[in-house]
Amino acid sequence: MLSNLRIVSKIVLLALVVAFGGSMLLAIGCSKNYFEGFATQTDDESLFYTAREYLRTADYPNAILSCTGLSANYLKEDNVAIVCASAYAGRCGYKMDWFLPTNHVLATPIFTYMFQQLSGTTAGMATDCDTAESILRKIGGATARSDDANMFMALLSIYKIGVIVNNLADAAPDDGTLDGAFDACAMSVANQNLIGSALWELNSSVNQLTSTFFTAIKAGLAANCTALGLLGTPENFCLATDPTALTVNQLKGAMSTIKEGSLFGVNQGGAGGCNGGTVSAGVQCNCL
């Protein structure tokens, strides 16, 4: 129980970085003039302080502008990457209140919950979420990232997929109901790659976190990927080594994870389609 409270506290603190610009975490001082000297500097430390000040005021475009001037090596630092990823995440609409209380993550197939809760999403928002994800990836793999960075990556990956699915599957009208014409298996290759990389990062990140807060997600991903591995083609994206280079079949596995209706997906076709089944239930629940 104490472990869960600690990890939820950490997640809430990360939420404050994005939702409120990090005023509780990142402010160095109360004087605005302190940062004015940094605004005209172009060295890494000055740009980073400027980005944090812009993030504190939820000025995501200018925070992003400051982050784009950072050197590649500086951006690899864990705390720097979290701040710059937060700027892009803020612009993609990322908020943390969707997971509170915690049963929001666990009680419903999560991507069904996400597309129902989100509205007005755009392809541009998905791109910003993907950029935030790629910045966190600069730190290194999940084993190289801090718990804070892995928590951020896991929750951001869920949100990113929610943005894409809401944009594509709940568009006519945007009413929290899955559009009848939606077909996860027919998504563009670009969207398949966005979702595939997010699922891979979600799996990698939660498996580095020891709190039971993510236990159900870990178990669901393990069951899902095991089932994908038994479909007769190498669709198990969990076995990939590079989230940006998934094979055609691994992408089919990612799309099957969106299509199914038991563990994570949107239950494509409802009672007349997947009908709450897992990816093992047949072509109505997978993309073979």
Name the residue among 223, 101, 113, 209 with its Cα closest to residue 165: 113
- Residues 149, 34: Cα–Cα separation, whole Å: 28
- Residues 87, 95: Cα–Cα separation, whole Å: 12
How many CB atoms are closer than 10 A to CB 107? 11
- Residues 273, 45: Cα–Cα separation, whole Å: 54
Q: What is the dihedral of CA 8, 9, 11, 16, to 10 degrees?
A: 140
Query: ∠ at Cα 125 (121, 126), nearest 5°?
Result: 100
Query: ∠ at Cα 126 (261, 51), nearest 5°?
Result: 135
| DSSP letter for each residue of 111-146 | HHHHHHH--S--HHHHHHHHHHHHHHHTT-STTTS-
Please list the pLDDT of the chain residue by residue as tens digits (288 residues).
444 445 544 554 455 445 444 433 443 344 444 445 545 578 999 999 999 999 999 999 999 999 999 999 999 999 999 999 999 999 999 976 656 654 555 556 889 888 888 889 999 999 999 999 999 999 999 999 999 999 999 999 999 999 999 999 998 888 888 998 899 999 999 999 999 999 999 999 999 998 777 888 899 999 999 999 998 788 999 999 999 999 999 999 999 999 999 999 999 998 889 999 999 998 999 998
Q: Cβ distance 153 to 146 under 8 Å?
A: no
Q: What is the pLDDT of residue 12?
A: 46
Q: What is the pLDDT of residue 100?
A: 62
Name the residue among 178, 66, 188 with its Cα closest to residue 123: 188
Q: Cβ distance 85 to 51 under 8 Å?
A: no
- Residues 121, 161: Cα–Cα separation, whole Å: 11
